[in-house]
Amino acid sequence: MTTSPEGLVQQVAVSYLRHGYWFYVTGRIKLGKDPAQLDQKLISKYRIDINEREKADRKRRGLANLQYLRHGNWFVLLATEGHHAFKQQERNQIRDCRRHPIRFEGYSISYRRSPITPTGGGEPKWHACVRIDAPTYKQLKSYFLDRATHRNAQALAQDFARVPYARYAPVRRQLLNILRAVNKARLKQRFDELPHSVLKLRRAIVKPFDQNRA
């Protein structure tokens, strides 16, 4: 179990996607069910807790490896390319994050090809992309535009400081777009602009798991 939504997002984006865990299934645990019991069931059923040597051997033989993460009652199973019983049993539910982002707590997590062509040619690199998902971004922008000319600069700065999403590069760009729209609205009414510093654009590194995790 991860310690926070940001911890889960960080583990997926920074640790798993770059190692080929692109195929996924998400789910929610029903009320009344024991989350820890489901954790153990899935980990045991799909042999997720094998060591790194076993994972390397499976990869060499063209077999998939799995990872499992949960926060609260939401969970995700991620798999690499290759054969695995999980893929047979969940074949109608599995999605590829290179085409369909993982959506979790207002985040959209995907694996994308870079738009930049490397110097000297060659294939563009792939990278994890974490952004605020489209519906949440739209709501957030509407919220700030609604308050842009009805709140003083200090109150708006406090609102921006409370935006919870980890500051990955796409999130920073989204927040900067919102700030520009807010300042444009404020300038029309001859109000002071807000500085970029209200966004707190540095991403904090978090510990994804608690100290008691096996």
Query: Which tens digits make up the pLDDT trace of 86-119?
Result: 999 998 999 999 999 999 999 999 999 887 766 7
Average of pLDDT values for 159-181? 97
What CA dihedral angle connects 190, 191, 196 and 198, to 10 degrees?
Answer: -170
Asked if the model's pLDDT at residue 212 lies above 80, the reply is no
Residue boundaries of the structural domains of the chain: 5-132, 134-199
* Average pLDDT taken over every residue of the chain: 94
Query: Which region among 61-70, 123-132, 158-167, 185-194 has the lowest average model confidence (pLDDT)?
Result: 123-132
pLDDT bin (cut points 50, 70, 90) of residue 211 is low
Output the CA torsion sign for 10, 13, 16, 22: positive
Whole-number percent of the chain with pLDDT over 70? 96
Query: Which region among 67-71, 98-102, 118-122 has the lowest average model confidence (pLDDT)?
Result: 118-122
Asked if the model's pLDDT at residue 127 lies above 60, the reply is yes
pLDDT at 214: 41
Residue of 101, 80, 93 whose CA lies nearest to 18: 80
| Distance from C-alpha of 24 to C-alpha of 78, rounded to nearest angstrom | 4
Average of pLDDT values for 119-131? 84
pLDDT at 213: 47
pLDDT bin (cut points 50, 70, 90) of residue 153 is very high
Asked if the model's pLDDT at residue 24 lies above 80, the reply is yes
Average of pLDDT values for 8-31? 96
pLDDT at 123: 77
The DSSP annotation for the chain comes to -BSSHHHHHHIIIIIIGGGT--EEEEEEPPTTS-HHHHHHHHHHHTTTT--HHHHHHHHHTTB--EEEEEETTEEEEEE-SSB-HHHHHTTTT-EETTTS-EEETTEEEEEEE-SSPPTTS-PPPEEEEEEE-HHHHHHHHHHHHHHTTTS-HHHHHHHHHT--S---HHHHHHHHHHHHHHHHHHHHTTPPPPPGGGG--PPPP---B-TT--
